[in-house]
Structures are given as structure tokens and as C-alpha cells.
Amino acid sequence: MINIDKIRKDFPILNRTVNDKPLVYFDNAATSQTPQIVIDTIVDYYSNFNANIHRGVHTLSQESTDKYEEARIKIQKHFNAAHAYEIILTSGTTHSINMVASGFETLLQKDDEIIVSALEHHSNIVPWQMLCEKTGAILKVIPMSLDGSLQMDVYHSLVNEKTKVVFCNHVSNALGIVNPIEEIIEKAHLFGAAVLIDGAQATPHIKPDVQALNVDFYVASAHKLCGPTGVGLLYGKKEWLEKLPPYQGGGEMIDTVSFEKTTYAGLPHKFEAGTPNICGGIAFGTALDYMNAVGFENIASYEHDLLEYGTEELLKIEGLRIYGTTVEKTAVISFNVGEIHPYDIGVILDKLGIAVRTGHHCAQPIMDFYKIPGTIRASFSFYNTKEEIDVFITSLKRAVLMLS
């Protein structure tokens, strides 16, 4: 069970006002809010442990290193990776995807095929398009249906012996739809293709088990999980990480360096060139501790109730259309009202203290599919309430009346 009063006290920002109105924060799909315990971890690091890691014999360096590597183990256990060295700490999901795409430049040949879904964030489209331009590989797309689901019959027809990589988001950031990644992974593996799953939108709501999924790469960002910005993870199976070349050259990722030849360090350091976001990595571990203490089953159940309530109340508004209507969804509602531009509604809602996201949500192909300029996206978290949804609905009705 969620103790909502206790949880809301953990998030100091929820006490502030915006435009003299109590803040209603419904932009959680863009970034989650940060509990005090994570903020305290950040302050504690810079107050008591600030030193570079893996390089110093002095006490501060050793203490910082221990805390950083402890966080890596927390992340490993959370995602159930087989080994801690299969967790590469990055600056976020986009960085993680680009690391894998860059690595495959050495593994692809002309006319090899890679498959992406129509529901992807731009960060899981553009790197692969760039890869195709460099290698001559061919990009194929799993189409979507009007309800936002992927056309899996078409996917099954696309996969063949030429398929080398398949990539898909676990949950659509624009629509909140949960994709059938188990089926996608299983089919790709029948032809020996690698699979990368973008878990940025799934991980705040679902606790993925990368071994049970048998996924080759899984990526996510801390700032969607009550952690800080500027840190994320790339999980990769050992055999795949060893196949890929380093993404960047520099300190930490080397074994030996001479002007004649450089040899690279083992995993995970091979992919972690330079000084990392040490504080961010440590705070990421704290954020996972916090969310696991709340409990992901509790989070999923509570957010499902918010989703059902919000959907029911929104559909009472005349002319409102929701995009993404499959049963398997996280707590995201993407919608428009009549012919009113989503940006205009978003501006008025902000004046009333309500934070929602408007636009194409870095998923322009989805908006092109629906032939719309964008949507209003309300995304809920386990620290939101039905009372906030009521305020949102009342404010939305006011905005619609003003713009009609």
C-alpha cells in the first residue's frame, strides 16, 4: 500500500507554488521529482567525500570509489544483471544508445538490416539512421496501429537472416503504451540478432529483470527514477560488450598506453572514459533504494488507479481524444481537445500551477501518423493524487472554455 501523505512529504518541491497556485506536477514522463534522501546524498558527497575515483591511494579517493562501486552493485541487483561489470554508467539513455550504435559500426556490413519500432523517441531513431549512413545497412520500421500498438504480424515478417539489431522502447514516452518486448526479443534471437530495449519510460513503473527478458542491451536514465539528471545506465550482456569497441578514448578505459600501442581495460572500465558523474552514480543507487522501499508492485497498483481515474474524468470533456488506448499502459495520458493547439492549453494550465508536457515529445513520427502537431501529455507518478487530477480537470475545462 502507498502511504501518500508520507511519500509526498519526501518530495520538498511538491510544497512550492507556481503562479501563486499549488504546484500540480504531471510531467513525470519527462523527469521525475527528487526525494529528500537523494538530495541529502548529493549534499553529503560534496560535503564529505568529493574526490576522483579508481586513481588515488588517499582516503577520500578510496571512500568515493567504494561508494560509486556500491551504487553499481545496487543497479546490478535492481535489474538482475548477472555481473556488476555488465552495468556501464553513462550520462543517460541517449548516451547509452549512442554507445551501442557506435559500436555496431564495426559489426555491420552493407545491406545488413536493423529494425526499429514506429513508437520510438528520437534518441532511438537518429543514432541508427546515422549508423545506416555510415555502414550501408538498411533501416526497417515496425508500423503502428491507430490504438498505438505495434503491428506484430508485420514485425515477424520483417525479421530474417539479414537482421542484425532490433531496438524498441519498453514503454512509449509519447503514449505510455507497454510494448511486447518479450515477443520482440524471442523472435530476433531466432535469427541471431541483438536486441536493445530503451527502458527510460518503463523503469519508473516496472522493475525489469534483464536475465529473465534475455535482452542483449537495456538502457535507462536515473532522472526518471527519482534520481539526478546526467547519469544513466547501459546494461549489456558480457559477450556483446566484449565484441563492441570502446566508445571514447581517454583515462580510466585503458590498460597500458604507449605511443606505439594502447590496450584497453576490461569491463566496465572499457566504456567509462574520463571522470564520471561520481555523485550522480552514488545518488542513482540511493534513488533505487528509495523506490524499492516504496515497492514497485505498490507503485504499479497505485499509478494504475490514477490512470483509470484520470482517463475516466478526461473522457467526460466534449471533443477530447486520447491517443494510445491499448490495455497495457503506464500512467500516461496523451490527448487533444477539438482543434485547440496543445501548446495553447499548456500555457494556460501553467498559469494555473499545472505542469504538463505539450508538443511531439521527441516522437514526431507518431504525431505524423495521427496527422496532429502534438499532444498534451499528463504523466502521473506514485506521489500524485486523485485530488490533483480533479484540479487538473477543472483547470483544463477552464482553458478549453477560454480557447473555444
User: Residue 151's CB: how many other CB atoms inside 10 A?
Assistant: 15
Give CA–CA dist 133/101, Å, rounded.
Answer: 12
Phi and psi torsions of 25, nearest 5°: -100, 105
Are the C-beta atoms of 403 and 28 separated by less than 8 Å? no
Phi and psi torsions of 361, nearest 5°: 55, 35
Are the C-beta atoms of 204 and 381 separated by less than 8 Å? yes
* Residue spans of beta strands (DSSP E) within 93-204: 113-117, 138-142, 163-169, 194-198
Q: What radius of gyration, in Å, describes the C-alpha atoms of the chain?
A: 22
132 is catalytic: no
Give CA–CA dist 251/301, Å, rounded.
Answer: 45
Are the C-beta atoms of 118 and 369 separated by less than 8 Å? yes
Phi and psi torsions of 176, nearest 5°: 80, 5
Question: Of 132, 168, 279, 362, which is the active-site residue?
Answer: 362
Which set of grid coordinates corresponds to residue 24?
500540480
Q: In terms of DSSP bridges, do strands 254-257 and 24-25 run parallel, antiparallel, or are they unpaired?
A: unpaired
Give CA–CA dist 363/172, Å, rounded.
Answer: 9
- 3-class SS of residue 9: helix
Give CA–CA dist 160/187, Å, rounded.
Answer: 9
What separation, in Å, do the N-terminal and C-terminal C-alpha atoms of the chain show? 41
For residue 344, the Cα-to-chain-centroid distance in whole angstroms is 27
- 3-class SS of residue 34: coil
Q: Which residues contact 306 (CB under 8 A, 6 or more apart)?
A: 331, 380, 384, 385, 386, 389
Active centre residues (catalytic): 362
